[in-house]
Amino acid sequence: MIVRENTEGFYADRNTHARTGEFMPTPDVAITHGIITQAATERIAHAAFQLAQSRSRQLTIVHKANVLKLTTGLFLDVCREVGLQYPDVSVNDFHIDAMTVHLVRCANKFDVIVTENMLGDILSDLAGEVAGSLGIAPSINSSDTRAMAQASQESASDIAGQNIANPIGMILSSAMLLLWLSAKFGDEKVLQAAELVKRSLKPPS
């Protein structure tokens, strides 16, 4: 499970000319800026630790603090500080380049991963492919008050009408949305519905 901060990092400013936080002071120079704040990092860290508590009580922080010392260094430090509030969760951390190797070689050793925006974008694609296909990876975008479920990848319009699209990503995304609703409203029936949706995709024993 990859928990990705989705409002900051190098994708932070959608209001600039290029809509990605990029700008060109001259035609031959391109610059991008990344934003990491304590508030947003605390928010995503709490979400990740709470998720880890409900699963294997294991959390991995992914960063590039050896190079991006101020930005992802802040992300790493804040996640560690938040982790002190969850003593029952085991925490480790890896640089992004090492983590890509670990996901390919031994993905089963990890459970919940928390990281910033762009690194999470890369890792979620890799994890989906390791699991079998980008098309089967589910996702949910959520805040404290709202949530939106969608498959990790785009709509695959190039195969529309060919009856070959795999719906697993969308089905599992719906289950994730039900889990979010159950947690928010404390509704046991919605939780049961989520489990039924997930169970429906398992092959018969």
Helix, strand and coil in the chain, % to nearest 5: 45, 20, 35
Strands 90-95 and 112-115: unpaired
DSSP bridge partners of 90: 58
Question: Tens of pLDDT along the chain (205 residues)?
Answer: 999 999 898 877 665 666 677 888 899 999 888 889 999 999 999 999 999 999 999 999 999 999 999 999 999 999 999 999 999 999 999 999 999 999 999 999 999 999 999 999 999 989 988 887 777 888 999 988 999 998 876 666 778 888 887 888 889 999 999 999 998 999 999 999 999 999 988 776 6
Give residue for tokens 């400013």: 13
Question: What residue ranges define each of the domains in the chain, with the CATH number in brackets?
Answer: 1-131 (3.40.718.10), 136-205 (no CATH)
pLDDT tens digits along 86-105: 999 999 999 999 999 999 99
CB 9 within 8 A of CB 21: no
pTM for the full predicted model: 0.87
